[in-house]
Each structure stands twice: as C-alpha cells, then as structure tokens.
Structure 1
Amino acid sequence: MNIIQSNIANLPTKYGKFKIKAYKDEDQEHLAIMSENFQDLDIPYVRIHSECLTGDTLGSLKCDCQNQLDLALKFIAQEGGLVIYHRQEGRNIGLLNKVNAYALQDQGRDTIQANVELGFNEDERDYRIVEHIFKDLGIKKIKLITNNPKKLAYVESLGVDIKERIPAITKSNKYNKEYINTKKEQMGHMF
C-alpha cells in the first residue's frame, strides 16, 4: 500500500470551520475532515462516510447518504471529531456500475441483488485506508457514528477502542424505504 498524503489545509463550510487532509491510495483519493479542535480531543467522534456522488452531490432520494453526511458534518462541527470521506463509490463498484445497479433496481431488484447480478459481492469496500488515516492522525479511542456492523467490526479489528456507537438515523422517504429496509434486514444495519 503506497499512500501519498497532502498537507493539512483550512476548509470553511456552511457547517463550520474544518481542517482537511487528503490521502491517495492507488487510484482512489480519500479525505479526512477534522473539526478545528480535533487535535485536542482525547476521544473524537468519527464518521467513516462512503462516497455517494448521486446522493452527496446530486441529492438523490434513492439512498440516505446525503442526509447521513449532512448529519455527520453538523455534528462534528459542533461536538468535535473527524469525518473520513471514503471514496469508494457504490460500495466500491464504481459510478458506471452503480448506475447499472440503479437500472436493475428500477426493474425491482434490491441493492444486493443488483450488485450480485452485475458480478459483485454485496459490498466491495476495502477499509485499509482507514487504518492508515487512524495511525497518521494518532487515533486510538473514538465514538463511532455508524449504523453499519461491518464498519464497527473493522474498526475494532484495528485495535481502536470504540467507546460509544452513535446511530446515524435520518428520515426515510418513499424512494429509499426499500433501500433502508435492505440495509437493515439483509446487511444487519442498526437503525
């Protein structure tokens, strides 16, 4: 794993002022978004947010991604901590395949069925960059903002002490209700 990283820069946002640092691993670039007081925190709040261009940028109602990112950035700006923007689009199947998965979902498949029909596992994400970011930023204890049991298990496998899990609960709508049900019933997400 050959990782290139940027310097830390300021990022004023509509949520508040942050510090950012980029990490490049092969062809993917990830971002650490830190509250201004991040370095002073013994146990920061942390959100590992998986990229979702259609949700995060375009405001898609087919998922809860933008709502979870919005919730995390507001919370971190207020309480202090870190959002890792994990750039693995569509559970790491890429944007083109994600749009193909959307087309299959339009025909009645759920997100897992669509990924499998396209030749992928239900979730192709690789969290190795998270370990590097945690080490680089000196993170040993956190309060993790997640609903995903796989993220919990991965962070625990790194030896990072999870002091608390904070659910990332947002409102569902008629377009993402089945998506959220699939995450809950088939992927074990904790809502």
Structure 2
Amino acid sequence: MAEVRARVELNVGQRSHIPAEIVSFEGLKDGEEHVALVFNGADKNQEVPLIRMHSECLTGDVFHSSRCDCGEQLNECIEEMHQHGGVLLYLRQEGRGIGLYNKIDAYVLQSQGMNTYEANNHLGFEDDLRNFSDAVLMLQALGLDHVKLMTNNPRKLNALRNAGIQVESVVGTQAHVKAGESGNRHYLATKVEHGSHMLDIDTINKPKSK
C-alpha cells in the first residue's frame, strides 16, 4: 500500500504549534479518505506506540457540540500523543457510519427522547455501521502490528485483535461530561449501558460542583 506524508502543525484547545506528520494512503477498501497523524515519529521510534482510531465527528470535532464528547476525546488524544508520541487514525465514519445528514436526522429524534442507538435504528440503520478493516490496513502500511490502544470502545479493541494486531494494553480517555439541559450525560450513559464502553458511570452521573 502506498502512502504520502507531509508535515503539519496543529492547534488544539489553548495549545498551538503541535508538530505532526499527516499520512494519506492509496489502496484502502471503502473509498473514504482516511488519514493518519504521526506524532514524534511514533511509527518508527516507539517499540509499542500508542494509537487511537477516531471516527470523524464534524459536529463534535469542529463545532464542539454539547451532544457528544468526540471533540474533547480528540483533543485529549492529541495532547497525550504530543507529549509521549503516538499515531492517530482519523477515520471518515461520521455518525457511527450513517453519514452527516442522517446524523442530523438522528439529532431530531434524540430531541424527542430517543437515545443515539434508538435514533439510528428508527432511521433504518444498525447500532453501529463502522468497519475498522481500513484502520488495520493503515496500521499495516505504517508497519505497526504491536500497539497500545487509546479507546473506551470494546468494538475497536476486538476489531484489531481479530485482525491479528497485538494490543498490549488499553488506555482509556476521560469521561468528558457536559452538564445542562442540552449536555451529554445521557449520551455517555447510553454508550456505557448499550455499547459497553469502558467509562465510569458514577463519574458521568455525578453532579458538577459549583
């Protein structure tokens, strides 16, 4: 599989000028333009690099929607990899694979009381349409078959292990709770209860101190 690399600098939160190498790939299977961000030469210099498979979320990553924790997870990941090295696989799988417009339709249903999984089902989709086979190809192209995985999602862990990628350890992200009527507590609790995500439900349900 062919790849192309270019140096970039990232702005994350209050931080700026975080250097990384952005990698594009030729030969992926699903037709999407997934990319990898390599921090501190982690694909060459770390014996067991930290990696994260992050699914694109325009509303969360870019516009910091109160409905999810995607942008905060992304920033946490980049900060960690800036400090210690790592590889971020940014996967074009908006809305757990249903696409941006369908995700906005799901937002309407969530406003009517459905959770994220129920809304996707109501629109005719399965709970989660994401496929991580291209992520495996990207890791293989980077020469990585022995990794530490940054995730709370057991589906991602199983996808790598089932594909023969050795996952030495799992590093969880924080529970990024956004309080208020339009906050993400219910979203996070649903990920734990329905999707078996490895988050502390007590932290999610704990009221914010004033």
When normalised by structure 1's length, the TM-score is 0.94
Deviates more, 1:155-164 or 1:50-59: 155-164
| Equivalent residue, structure 1, for 2:41 | 37
User: Match for 2:57: what amino acid?
Assistant: C
Unpaired runs of at least 5, structure 2: 11-15, 200-210
1:77-123 CA-partner distances (Å, limit 9, x unpaired): 11111000011100010001000000000000000000000000010
| Equivalent residue, structure 2, for 1:127 | 132
Unpaired runs of at least 5, structure 1: none
Do 1:15 and 1:74's aligned partners in 2 also have CA atoms closer than 8 Å? Answer: no
Aligned residues: 188
1:3-43 CA-partner distances (Å, limit 9, x unpaired): 7x541100112261101112364541111000132111110
Q: Which runs of 4+ in 1 moved over 6 A?
A: none
**Structure number with bigger Rg:** 2
Matches within 5 A, 1:94-109: 94-109=99-114
When normalised by structure 2's length, the TM-score is 0.86
User: Match for 2:80: what amino acid?
Assistant: F
Do 2:18 and 2:82's aligned partners in 1 also have CA atoms closer than 8 Å? Answer: yes
| Equivalent residue, structure 1, for 2:8 | 11
Deviates more, 1:106-115 or 1:156-165: 156-165
**Offset of residue 160 of structure 1:** 1.3
Matches within 5 A, 1:111-126: 111-126=116-131
RMSD of the TM alignment (CA)?
1.3
Matches within 5 A, 1:34-183: 34-38=38-42, 39-174=44-179, 175-183=183-191
Question: C-alpha distance in 1, partners of 2:87/2:17?
Answer: 13
User: Match for 1:184: what amino acid?
Assistant: V
